Amino acid sequence: MRLLLIEHDARFRSLIRHHVSCRWADARFVSHDPVSNGLLPPEFLAQGFDAVLLGASWPGGEGLAWLQDLAARPGFAPVVYLADRTDDDDARRARVFGAFGVVNRQRVDHGEFMELLDEAARTQQRQLADWRVSPAAVESRRFGTVRIPDFRCVRRLAGGSLSQLYLAESEKAGSLVVIKITPSMRDETGVDQTFERFLQEYEIAKQLHHANIVRCHELGIADDHAYLSMEYFPDGDLRRRLRLGVTAEEALALSIQITRALRALHQAGALHRDLKPGNVLMRGADKIALTDFGLAKQLAMDLEMTDPGLIFGTPHYMSPEQGHGQEIDARTDLYSLGILLYEMLVGEKPYTDSNPMAIIYKHRHSPIPRLPEELGLLQPLIDRLLAKLPAGRYDSASDAEQALYAALLQLKGIAA
């Protein structure tokens, strides 16, 4: 039994878990607090669940409005409505709006509740069995020219020369996910470097289990393509957040979270090497998760996937030593963080040019950029992060985090 529980009251969530676990000891729950997590994405059909349990109300929201939306989505899982009472207008309207069944939350009848969930699960299994053999389902498994089982393609998000990104629903994960797909390509030695990079990205994210690192779900091969499914961020990335405007305090707070992600990555023996706004994903307006470890470099890898001296990364955010193909360490990621911080504070990149090699030259030879006078308090941070030589920067992400936190406290003290 696998259930999605949409309910704000933590005590009632525990009560529901108790009832269900008494019948199905290995039942799996995913809780969704509508107050803190907001609306379910409109593309989501809960196909990985046997049923969805929906609370009647919460601060600032009503279950009936959600029920109308969810029940109207073709193929959505059966919805069991958790009404305050089963004999009032609210419960009657829930049945009219498409609830599979209604449960009295004030006095849950265990036997009736379990029977209802059992029936909902059988109904969902029949619906999915019919769906899986339909032409629409066959087509939904297609991601461009690639067919991937157990995923429903929602839409293409982006793509480049190396990979394509799709939004999909995963039955296994029970959520919307992003699928990255790239052709499998073997070099002259027979090694599939594409799959090795995907494997590296997957293993790095899996081993860290960090709040500021993207969660990866599954790695696989389909139709001579490698694919990686990972957490979906409907709020986009730091590029979108920058367009909305970032205050100095927000810039420091976001940078602190980035240092925490880098600290976890560096402690795992890896460098990111491609830190940029597109690889900083947003959980809401004020929390981040670092992604895209396809270019990350394990400091003790058995398989070296790049040639010595090869420039790997994005010129606008690349340290001088990285841009010149020299040896790098954790301090190269701190330089990229300094570029990000400057861009958040000022609204533009410090070094620009139409020629990528000219940008790389400026990182090495142009003066460290100056902040506006009103942000002068933060200039020492920028000077240290963007030092031309690694020795001039903070020694570690932990040191950078402490400096950023001290600056944030000082800034708040001045603002107060």
Angle between helices 248-267 and 397-415 (to 10 degrees): 160
> Which residue type does 251 have?
A
From 274, 292, 329, 399, the catalytic residue: 274
Q: What share of the chain is helix, strand, coil (3-state, %, to 5)?
A: 45, 20, 35
Q: Which two tokens stand for residue 28?
A: 């799996």
Q: Which of 304, 306, 332 is nearest to 318 (CA)?
A: 332
Q: How many helices (H) and strands (E) does the chain have?
A: 14, 18
Type and span of the H or E element at 32: strand 28-32
Q: What is the Cα gyration radius of the chain?
A: 25
Annotated catalytic residue 150: no
Strands (E), 85-186: 101-104, 142-143, 146-147, 151-159, 164-170, 175-183
- How far apart CA 140 and CA 152 sit, in angstroms, is 5
Q: Which two tokens stand for residue 114?
A: 């379990």
CB-based contact 121:1 (threshold 8 Å): yes
Q: Give the up-direction half-sphere exposure of residue 305: CA atoms within 13 A in the CB hemisphere.
A: 20
What's the CA dihedral at 97, 125, 17, 169 to 10 degrees? -80
Q: Which of 105, 98, 64 is nearest to 84 (CA)?
A: 105
Q: Which of 327, 316, 313 is nearest to 389 (CA)?
A: 327
CB-based contact 316:276 (threshold 8 Å): yes
Task: Cite the DSSP H helix spans in 153-225.
Answer: 193-208
Residues forming the active site: 274
